[in-house]
Amino acid sequence: MARPKLAVWKFASCDGCQLSLLDCEDELLAVGEAVDIAYFPEVTSRVEPGPYDLSLVEGSITTQKDAARIREVRACSRTLVTIGACATAGGIQALRNFRDHGHMLSVVYARPETIDALSSSTPIAGHVSVDFELRGCPVDKRQLLEVVSAFLNGRKPNVQSHSTCLECKMRGTVCVMVAKGEPCLGPVTHAGCGALCPAYGRGCYGCFGPSDAPFTAPLARRFLATGSQSGDVRRLFSTFNAAAEPFANEARRHDD
């Protein structure tokens, strides 16, 4: 039987999520045997034509060209999974959505009129239908392997959508908010990282985006009551998943 064809696509991003696959040092060669890596420019010069059984899409849409390209990618993919905060929420570059884009271009480029860049950074699901969204900035490599394995075997990925806070409790980490008064987005952030930041003594900064039913307002009030300034709260909700709606809405309630 022919092996399933895997394609990996990049839009505006840092490369880190697709690199997570190459960071699976123990599993990489086995993955390469189990699937036909048909399109993955970061890894191979070989390009096989579609259709592809599974497309992993990294990055957000920030140019006209990419808005057209993602539709081509969808058309040649049986299953399309977005990987990481850029592809699922617009990424850090979505901070432009809340600012004067022309001014931002002129900060970086002497001749901004020559640059093709949209004034917003949008997730893949804003352009085409997406079969599954894997969170994280970057994604967790164990979750990435789980998702690839699940789709290739026709089952639902075992990826939980509860909060990082719950992961942290299960890990047995002392709460950084209770013990140290550190602002922590764990209660409203999607699980997946294993609650890394609190284990290193810092508050979660929300790189996996909002969890299911995130109650951001009481958490923000708690931050303000324990010494955070309004600008700090705004920035905390407005970083790697700034355009994810629950975070964007909470950020809007606080001034710089």
Partner 1 sequence: MTTRTIQVDLLARVEGEGALSLVLEGDRVVDAKLRIFEPPRLFEALLLGRACTETPDITARICGICPVAYEMSACHAVEDALGVRVEGALRDLRRLLYCGEWIESHVLHMVLLHAPDFLGFPDALTLARHHPERVKAGLRVKKAGNAIVRLLGGREIHPVNVKVGGFYRVPGQAEIAALLPDLRSAREEAEETLSWLATFDFPAFDRDRELVALRHPAEYPMNEGRLGSTHGLDIDVREFGAHIVEEQVAHSTALHARIVGRGSYLCGPLARYVLNADRLSARAQAAAARAGLDPSCRNPFRMLLVRGVEVVYALDEAIRIIDSYAPPAQACVPLAMRAGTGQAATEAPRGTLYHRYVLDDGGVIRQAQITPPTSQNQRGMEEDLVAMGGMLASLPLEEARARAEHAIRNYDPCISCSTHFLTLAFEQRERS
**Which residues of this chain interact with partner 1, rule CB under 8 A?**
10-20, 22-23, 25-26, 28-29, 32, 37, 41-47, 62-63, 66, 91-93, 95-96, 99, 103-105, 107-111, 114-117, 137-138, 140-141, 193, 196-197, 199-202, 205, 207, 232, 235, 239-240, 256
Q: How far is the CB of 134 from partner 1 (least distance, A)?
A: 14
Residue type for position 220: A
Residue with smaller CB distance to partner 1, 154 or 197: 197
Residue 213 beta carbon to partner 1: minimum distance, rounded to whole angstroms: 25
Cα 91 to Cα 72: distance, rounded to the nearest angstrom: 22
- What's the rounded Cα separation, in Å, for the pair 244 and 166? 21
Q: Give CA–CA dist 86/91, Å, rounded.
A: 4
Q: Give yes or no for a contact between 231 and 255, defined as CB atoms under 8 angstroms apart.
A: yes
**Minimum CB distance to partner 1, residue 64 (Å):** 10
Side chain identity, residue 98: F
Q: What is the 3-state secondary structure (H, E, C) of 46-90?
A: CCCCCCEEEEEEECEECCHHHHHHHHHHHHCEEEEEEECHHHHHC
Q: What is the dihedral of CA 235, 11, 208, 90, to 10 degrees?
A: 40
**Closer CB to partner 1, 212 or 226, in the complex:** 226
Q: Is residue 220 a contact partner of residue 250, using CB atoms and an 8 Å limit?
A: yes
Task: Specify the residue, 45 or 153, whose C-beta has the smaller distance to partner 1.
Answer: 45
Q: 28 vs 213, which CB is nearer to partner 1?
A: 28
Min dist. Cβ of residue 37 to partner 1 (A): 7
| 116/154 with CB nearer partner 1 | 116
Give the shortest CB-161-to-partner 1 separation in angstroms. 20
Question: What is residue 10's three-state secondary structure?
Answer: strand
